[in-house]
Each structure stands twice: as C-alpha cells, then as structure tokens.
C-alpha cells in the first residue's frame, strides 16, 4: 500500500489516540511514521470513548467475525479478518492507545490458545490490552466453516467453561479442569500477563450475566441508557449472589452512530440499523446521549464508525464527537 504524508489534521487525530480499522483489518496510526491517511479515507472502524473524570480517552477495539455481518450496518468487502494478527500488529505499531478484542467468539479457538495469546499481547502492548470474549452468535460463518455453534443453552454452558479456563490460566500457576467441553491437566500459561489483564465479557442474558459476575473485570452490552440500566441492575444482583462487589466490574456499552443534522438521513439510518441500539443526530445530541449513559454507570462508549462516513466526512464527525464530549 502506498503511504502518504499525514496532514496536520491527521496528526491532530493521532494526538487523541484514534486507531482506525478497515472492518476487522486494522491499520493504525503510527507515532513514528505515515500510514493512517488511506485508512482514514476508507473510514470503517471502531473507537472507544472512555469517560474518566473530565477526560475522554479514545482507544481501539477490534471485532471478531470471520464473515460479513448478518445484520444492518457494517457489511463490506472486508469483514473481521484475523483479529489476533490485527491486535499483534497494533501492539507493535502504537504506543499509547488502549487495545482490545470486541469480542473473541468461543467457538473459533480453544481457550488455552486464547489465554496464551492474550498474555503475549499484554507484554507486546506493555499492558494496554483488554481481552474481550463472548459465546458467539453468527450463523453464517459457523455454517460455511463447519464450526459448531451449539444451541443457545449449550453455548452458554460451553462459554462458562471457556471463560473459566482463560481466567484460571491467566491467574493461577497451574490449572486443572475436567469439564464437559474442555479438559486441563496441571496446565501452564507462562509468562503471566504484564500487570493486570482485564477480561471483558459481552453479555445480556441472565445466564451470561452470571458468568460475567464470576469471571470478568468488564462487561459490554449493546444498549441505549434505559435498557443498559435495567440489565446493569441485574448484573449487580448476579454479583451479589456470587459474593462479588458489583463495583469491581467496569460497565461498557456500544451503539451504531451516525452524526448528521439531516432528519431524513437520521430516520433512514435508524430504520436500517434496527434492531441494534443506534443513534442518529448531531454531535451535541450524541453528547447528551453519552451523558445519559454515564448517569446509568457507563464508563466506556464503544462506537463502530460504520455510520461516520469516509474521508473528510469521517474526520469531521470524529472531530465533532471529540469536541461535543470533551466536558463529560
């Protein structure tokens, strides 16, 4: 790919820690060289607004799909290519941005492989990595590749073991498990992660929330504030039943976003994005939505930028979001 010299606008975007993504094939900004221009022009990616006191911190989360989405926005020629390689590339190509998977599907890889890879990424990124995992859901990739998606109930049971295997390997000297889906015998995972490697689980059902309460440091759910608040309260109850302090689990959410002042475009986007949680409106209105999320306990808002346009339009939308949310 031919590189171009970054403009002052691109350099400003680097300074606020944006790592753009080509729908799973993430080619990030570099602190010491060009490479972001073509990717920003393509304009398909994910970034994270993390609200801590009065600062909005932006990072990059990489989704994990083998094929195109089955729903709405984000369907394109590239869909979720090699997430593990993408994170490895980002870890070596960036210095400041936080990195994460959103989320690794349990049916794609053995949990021991994931745990060892995650520990390696924590060292490669100097502790900037969060391991996001989930039970998996997309049928087309499982059907085409012969992967066993399982029934919803069996999928949750498998994920319970999957997340436990990963947590034990990352935390314990040796791990043993005689499960229905996975078996470990005095298994090692060395070296252990650099500092603290948080596990984030994507979940919304009660059985999955039980697993979050046992095995995660962070939780993610597609939701607007009202739905998020009620499910977050359910997570609190699951934590109490598990003997866990609910405040130990960081709460994150995500929604599809389109920044526009055209009401017809906004209505069309919301219709096309259904049933996913989504927003369409001005950056100021989006900031109001972010404030409502913060009020119900959200610390990070994850924005897949499928609706932010490409090239200059994408940069303008990112700039508007940055400015509008700066005071949160």
Question: Could you give the domains of the chain?
Answer: 8-324 (3.20.20.30)
pLDDT > 90: percent of the chain: 56
Q: What is the pTM of this model?
A: 0.81
H/E element, 298: none
Residue of 274, 270, 266, 278 lying closest to 224 (CA atoms): 278
Q: Taking the CB of residue 236, how many other CB atoms lie within 10 A of it?
A: 18
pLDDT at residue 48 in the model: 54
Q: Taking the CB of residue 119, how many other CB atoms lie within 10 A of it?
A: 21
H/E element, 245: none
In tens, the pLDDT along 245-278 reads 999 999 999 999 999 999 999 999 999 999 999 9
pLDDT at residue 81 in the model: 53
| Helix extents (H) in the chain | 8-15, 36-42, 83-93, 111-124, 139-145, 152-171, 206-215, 225-241, 263-273, 283-295, 311-324
- Give the lowest-confidence range in 74-83, 132-141, 186-195, 239-248: 74-83
Mean of the per-residue pLDDT values for the chain?
80
Q: Assess whether pLDDT exceeds 50 at residue 1.
A: no
pLDDT at residue 199 in the model: 98
In tens, the pLDDT along 57-74 reads 345 555 555 544 554 444
Complete DSSP assignment for 168-199: HHHHSSSEEEE-SS-EEEEE---SPPSS---E
Structure confidence at residue 94 as a pLDDT band (50, 70, 90): confident
Contacts of 102 (CB under 8 A, 6+ apart): 46, 61, 62, 63, 64, 132, 202, 220, 254, 302
Which residues, listed in sequence order, are joined to residue 184 by a DSSP beta bridge?
177
Q: Assess whether pLDDT exceeds 50 at residue 2.
A: no
Strands 183-187, 175-178: pairing is antiparallel
């Amino acid at each position: 790919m031919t590189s171009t010299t970054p403009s002052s606008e691109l350099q400003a975007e680097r300074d606020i820690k944006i790592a753009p993504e080509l729908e799973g094939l993430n080619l990030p900004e570099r602190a010491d060289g060009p490479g972001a221009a073509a990717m920003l022009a393509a304009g398909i990616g994910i970034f994270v607004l993390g609200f801590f006191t009065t600062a909005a911190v932006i990072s990059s989360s990489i989704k994990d799909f083998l094929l195109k989405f089955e729903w709405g926005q984000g369907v394109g020629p590239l869909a979720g290519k090699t997430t593990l390689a993408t994170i490895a590339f980002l870890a070596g190509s960036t210095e400041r941005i936080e990195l994460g998977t959103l989320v690794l599907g349990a049916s794609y890889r053995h949990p021991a492989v994931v745990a060892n890879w995650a520990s390696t990424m924590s060292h490669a990124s100097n502790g900037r990595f969060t391991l996001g995992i989930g039970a998996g859901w997309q049928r087309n990739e499982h059907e085409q590749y012969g992967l066993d998606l399982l029934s919803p109930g069996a999928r949750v049971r498998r994920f319970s073991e999957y997340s436990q295997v990963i947590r034990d390997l990352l935390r314990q000297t040796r791990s043993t498990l005689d499960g229905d889906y996975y078996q470990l015998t005095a298994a090692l995972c060395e070296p252990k992660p650099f500092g603290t490697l948080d596990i984030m689980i994507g979940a919304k059902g009660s059985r999955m929330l039980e697993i979050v309460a046992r095995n995660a440091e962070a939780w993610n759910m597609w939701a607007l504030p009202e739905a998020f608040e009620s499910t977050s309260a359910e997570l609190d109850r699951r934590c109490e039943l598990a003997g866990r302090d609910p405040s130990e689990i960081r709460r994150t959410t995500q929604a599809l976003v389109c920044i526009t002042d055209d009401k017809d475009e906004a209505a069309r986007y919301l219709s096309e994005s259904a049933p996913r949680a989504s927003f369409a409106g001005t950056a100021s209105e989006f900031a109001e939505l972010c404030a409502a999320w913060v009020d119900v306990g959200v610390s990070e808002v994850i924005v897949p930028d499928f609706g932010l346009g490409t090239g200059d339009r994408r940069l303008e939308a990112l700039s508007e979001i940055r400015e509008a949310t700066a005071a949160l």
